[in-house]
């Protein structure tokens, strides 16, 4: 089915962006992807909005063949998510964990309306609706007060106590000492029950504090993801495949540029963070080599230091050239879940994650993104995010870090709190 597309001039990029998100929130399904005008070598989209589902793809658990057929038949835009638990049916459950948020393990939808926002214009593409009518509806949205977020004062509870967290890190380091693994990403959950929030206002408050390049407002009926992620999981661009794992975090000091630069230098020289980062880089190189032509996998950048509003991050970039006829199913089989959220070796650390973490991850440490008509795609890593189920009024966020032999449990706990600082400012 062909889309009807129209392009309109806009007076204010920021006002229109708020208006179109406010307009989209009335629908049961929407996906709003925002780079906050961040640009790097692999940036291709500034701001994308997908609204209403004309078709939904939700495969049976772990059906590689279903995914292959779906991807082969893609000739339009599709948006969606893949939850962490999608690719680990071989990991037996140790604890009786529940997922109170309830996102499915995988879902993609073909939107009725697709909106691409640029600095001075907006493109609106519809399957059945009138772009002019939608443009007029968006301009009529009243956004006054939307960004005046009041303090939520939500009492968040830890799923695991600090004492138990520290003890768990010690136990995981014993596994490392015994040679069972080299690095493991351990996560913990903070949650609140019987909580009511205005998801749109909370998202606005979150990205105002932390406007990161892989942010998204993702709504599937009663389930919400409010995401301020700085990390790309994987991007396909023609025959090229790109992954940019993050390992290494240090706080920014925006009041003192000298101290801020000192923090940046400290991260750059941190042997602990470099050790974490290079292990994940090696894991990603190995993953990409399964689907890339021989000799094409390269580390384009190792230990790059990038500055975001809250933190400095250590990011590496790994690329490869895909073998002929490689589809989404093969790419997921080779690379998912992403190395930055698991560790090495991947299967063993996923078993340990299942054993030691107190919560299902669900959509956290999975990914959200899009597939375009050319079968290119771009997916983030779902971190620095708030999850909310409006029906059962359950709110949650998770946070974690890479544990190595050299990790200091107290510092790892402090790093978790640092990563969640923007979220806590919004909610507490």
Omega cis (within 30) before 369: no
Q: Which of 85, 183, 189, 231 is catalytic?
A: 231
CB 235 within 8 Å of CB 377: yes
Residue 425 among the catalytic residues:
no
Q: Which of 105, 235, 247, 419 is catalytic?
A: 247
Residue 231 among the catalytic residues:
yes
Residues with a catalytic annotation lie at: 231, 247
């Amino acid at each position: 089915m062909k889309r009807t597309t129209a392009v309109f001039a806009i007076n204010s990029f920021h006002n229109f962006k708020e208006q179109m998100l406010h307009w989209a929130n009335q629908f049961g399904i929407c996906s709003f992807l925002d780079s906050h005008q961040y640009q790097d070598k692999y940036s291709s989209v500034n701001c994308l909005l997908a609204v209403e589902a004309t078709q939904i793809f939700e495969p049976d658990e772990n059906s590689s063949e279903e995914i292959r057929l779906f991807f082969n038949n893609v000739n339009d835009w599709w948006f969606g998510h893949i939850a962490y638990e999608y690719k680990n049916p071989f990991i037996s459950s140790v604890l009786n964990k529940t997922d109170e948020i309830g996102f499915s393990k995988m879902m993609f939808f073909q939107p009725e309306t697709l909106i691409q926002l640029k600095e001075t214009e907006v493109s609106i593409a519809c399957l059945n609706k009138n772009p002019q009518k939608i443009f007029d509806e968006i301009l009529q949205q009243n956004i006054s007060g939307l960004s005046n977020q009041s303090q939520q004062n939500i009492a968040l509870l830890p799923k695991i106590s600090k004492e138990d967290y520290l003890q768990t890190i010690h136990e995981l380091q014993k596994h490392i000492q015994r040679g069972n693994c080299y690095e493991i990403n351990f996560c913990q959950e903070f949650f609140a029950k019987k909580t009511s929030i205005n998801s749109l206002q909370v998202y606005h408050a979150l990205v105002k504090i932390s406007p990161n390049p892989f942010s998204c407002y993702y709504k599937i009926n009663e389930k919400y993801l409010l995401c301020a992620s700085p990390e790309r999981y994987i991007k396909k661009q023609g025959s090229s495949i790109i992954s940019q794992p993050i390992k290494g975090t240090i706080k920014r000091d925006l009041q003192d540029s000298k101290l801020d630069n000192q923090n940046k230098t400290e991260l750059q020289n941190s042997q602990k963070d470099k050790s974490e980062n290079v292990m994940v880089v090696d894991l990603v190189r190995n993953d990409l080599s399964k689907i890339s032509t021989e000799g094409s996998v390269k580390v384009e950048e190792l230990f790059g230091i990038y500055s975001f509003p809250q933190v400095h991050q250590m990011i590496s970039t790994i690329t490869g050239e895909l073998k002929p006829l490689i589809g989404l199913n093969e790419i997921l089989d080779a690379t998912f879940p992403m190395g930055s959220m698991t560790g090495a070796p991947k299967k063993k650390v996923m078993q340990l994650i299942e054993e030691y973490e107190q919560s299902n991850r669900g959509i956290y440490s999975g990914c959200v993104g899009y597939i375009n008509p050319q079968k290119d795609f771009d997916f983030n890593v779902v971190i620095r995010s708030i999850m909310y189920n409006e029906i059962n009024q359950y709110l949650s966020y998770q946070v974690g870090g890479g544990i190595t032999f050299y990790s200091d449990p107290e510092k790892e706990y402090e790093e978790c709190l640092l990563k969640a600082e923007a979220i806590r400012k919004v909610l507490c």
